[in-house]
Amino acid sequence: MNIFKSTVLVVGLILTFGLPSTTFGQNNNLMDSLSYSVGLMLAQNLQQQGISDLDSESLKQGLMDVIDGNDLKISLEKANSVIQEYFAKKNMAQFEENVNAENDFLTANRKKEGVVETESGLQYKVLEAGDGPVPTATDRITAHYHGTLLDGRVFDSSVNRGQPATFPVNGVIQGWQEVLQLMPVGSKYRVFIPSRLAYGERGAGDMIGPYAMLIFEIELLGIE
């Protein structure tokens, strides 16, 4: 559940049932227990969402402004934007190691003999030069490929499966789309795809994490 929606749900419960004026203790009544339980739910939800460094006074003020009908210091739309920005920065910090590793690799790799870098930042090296036609974005192609992460782990490989893949050029990640339209049939390229031309901050599956760059060896076998 979205953290903003979860918070609104909890605040809605508080608005419905109110907050007790007494301190929660052994002689609590139903409303004491309910209010305390709502607090537990809110705190647990925040922790599950990865928020553990909130200012308790500001949190309390936000709750009370809604409950008491006070003028809000920021709008609910702005609050949602702030929360999304927080998670974006937290996500970026969490995967900063991936970003740095990608930048270091590409900086060194572009200086290597035979490596070509395009305007988008895609890098490739021709392993075998073909002399066939070059596909367009609307073509379907057949290719063998072997995909690895920077640490060498294989995440997908038609070569290992022993079966080439057929798909539309415009149906794959941006880095693939770009390089396929540079490759004559019969070519084999090693391709270094920055994360922004692959799966970016989302990642894909269990192995391709956020901000992971990908390395492929692609052999273009034919155009349908």
Kindly report, residue by residue over 76-98, the tens digit of the pLDDT: 889 889 888 887 777 777 688 88
Same domain, 106 and 83: no
Same domain, 114 and 180: yes
Residue 136 pLDDT > 60, yes or no?
yes
Same domain, 17 and 54: yes
The model's pTM is 0.62
Range of the domain at 137: 96-223
Residue 106 pLDDT > 50, yes or no?
yes
Report for 3-7, 28-32, 92-96, 125-129: range of highest mean pLDDT: 125-129
Last residue of a domain, one of 33, 68, 94: 94
Same domain, 140 and 55: no
Residue 144 token pair: 């063998």
* Catalytically annotated residues: 145, 155-156, 173, 199, 216
Last residue of a domain, one of 53, 72, 94: 94
Same domain, 107 and 194: yes
Last residue of a domain, one of 74, 94, 114: 94
Same domain, 106 and 211: yes
SS (H, E, C) 41-61: HHHHHHHHCCCCCCCHHHHHH
* Of the candidate ranges 17-21, 50-54, 119-123, the one whose mean pLDDT is the lowest: 17-21
Quote the pLDDT of residue 61.
86
Q: What is the pLDDT of residues 189-219, one digit of tens each?
A: 999 999 999 999 888 988 998 899 999 999 9
Q: What is the pLDDT of residues 56-72, one digit of tens each?
A: 888 888 888 888 888 88
Residue 52 pLDDT > 90, yes or no?
no
Same domain, 108 and 213: yes
Same domain, 7 and 73: yes
Same domain, 126 and 196: yes
Total structural domains within the chain: 2
Helix axes 56-68, 3-17, angle to 10 degrees: 50
Quote the pLDDT of residue 96.
85
Same domain, 106 and 207: yes
Residue 29 token pair: 């009544």
Contact 92, 100 (CB under 8 A): no
Residue 54 token pair: 């909130």
In b/e form, how buried is each residue of 88-104, taking b as 16+ CB within 10 angstroms?
eeeeeeebeebbebbee
Mean pLDDT of the 149-166 span = 96
Quote the pLDDT of residue 26.
57
